[in-house]
Amino acid sequence: MDRERQIKNKMITMQHVAKTFVTERKTTRIIDDISLEVKENELVALFGPGQCGKTTLLNVMAGLEKATSGEIIVNGEKVTRPGPDRGFVYQTLALFPWLTVMGNVCFGPRMRGISKKEREERARYYIDLVGLKGFEDSYPVQLSGGMKQRVGIARAYCNEPSVLFMDEPFGHLDAQTRYLMQDELMRIWEKEKRTIVFVTNNIEEAIYLADRVIVLTNCPTQVKKEYIIDLPRPRDYVDPGFLALREDISSVVDKTL
């Protein structure tokens, strides 16, 4: 019931968003008229088949790419370009290789002109939160895959955005690390509640993490169906309710190569 009260304000509103790519020879429609809403502190998973426009959709929501038509409102403001009120965690990590863990995590506050003492203090808190205490001075090249993604999460959190976008953040990790990082994300999220939009191509991951799963179609992408996941947390991969949902969602997903 506590969650019910938390999830009430609209955090993200998308209305009739479409996106077309233009290249030398042709134009391709990637996103075809999507409208959706995300409430405050809700964790929404965007789930769809391999080559659908999930990442593009996320980039458009974040303001990294411009929508061809339609509008996106995040926390009451129209999204026109990238901004620090929205955090982003990348599948390809996108850590700055020339900065240490500390340098990466305090990058955002540094850009916004927060004093060195304050930003390092804040960065230390988040580095500790993601479990990387003691690695402040390491360079990304010295870290393992799971540790790098912890840095990515800490970096996004440290900027204290109202929304976090995650683009298949555990896509490159091996299966064991992936399970571990899913639990870690749950732990971090329980401690520091944020609105999260999470893109994944893994059904179990979507059901395991999300309050709500939005199933997307193939290109041009549209919303196929929405599922509210009201299983209690921590969730169990072999719980009958979980398996039933998995079965249900699998049956509606477009099958492609």
Q: Burial letters for 199-223: b for 16+ Cβ neighbours within 10 Å, e otherwise?
A: bbbbbbbbbbbbbbbbbbbbbbbbb
| Residues in region 16-45 near other proteins by CB under 8 A | 20, 22-24, 26-27
**CB under 8 A: which stretch of 34-42, 84-92, 199-207, 225-233 binds other proteins?**
84-92
How many residues contact other proteins, by CB under 8 A? 33
| Residues from 91 through 120 that contact other proteins (CB under 8 A) | 92, 94, 96-99, 107-108, 111-112
User: Please, what is the minimum distance in Å from the beta carbon of residue 60 to other proteins?
Assistant: 12
Nearest CA to 189 out of 169, 206, 172, 210 is that of 210
Give min distance, CB of 17 to other proteins, in A. Answer: 16
- Interaction between residue 64 and other proteins (CB under 8 A): yes
Examine residue 238 and tell whether it contacts other proteins (CB under 8 A). no
Q: Does 138 bind other proteins (CB under 8 A)?
A: no
* Closest CB 157 distance from other proteins, rounded Å: 11
Under the criterion CB under 8 A, does residue 159 sit at the interface with other proteins? Answer: yes
Q: What is the closest distance, in whole angstroms, from the C-beta atom of residue 124 to other proteins in the complex?
A: 18
> How does DSSP assign the chain, residue by residue?
-HHHHHTTSEEEEEEEEEEEEE-SS-EEEEEEEEEEEEETT-EEEEE--TTSSHHHHHHHHHTSS--SEEEEEETTEE--S--TTEEEE-TT----TTS-HHHHHTHHHHHTT--HHHHHHHHHHHHHHTT-TT-TT--GGGS-HHHHHHHHHHHHHHT--SEEEEESTTTTS-HHHHHHHHHHHHHHHHHS--EEEEEES-HHHHHHH-SEEEEE-SSSB-EEEEEE--PPSSP-TT-HHHHHHHHHHHHHSPP--
**Considering only residues 139, 201, 222, 242, which one is a binding residue for other proteins as defined by CB under 8 A?**
139
Stretch that binds other proteins, among 39-47, 83-91, 204-212, 225-233 (CB under 8 A): 83-91
Selected range binding other proteins among 32-40, 56-64, 187-195, 227-235, rule: CB under 8 A: 56-64
92 vs 256 by CB, closer to other proteins: 92
| 88 sits near other proteins (criterion: CB under 8 A) | yes
Q: Which residues are CB-contacts of 147 (< 8 A; sequence separation ≥ 6)? A: 132, 135
Residue 160 or residue 254: which is nearer to other proteins going by CB? 160
Residues engaged in binding other proteins (CB under 8 A): 20, 22-24, 26-27, 59, 62-64, 68, 81-84, 86-88, 90, 92, 94, 96-99, 107-108, 111-112, 139, 141, 155, 159
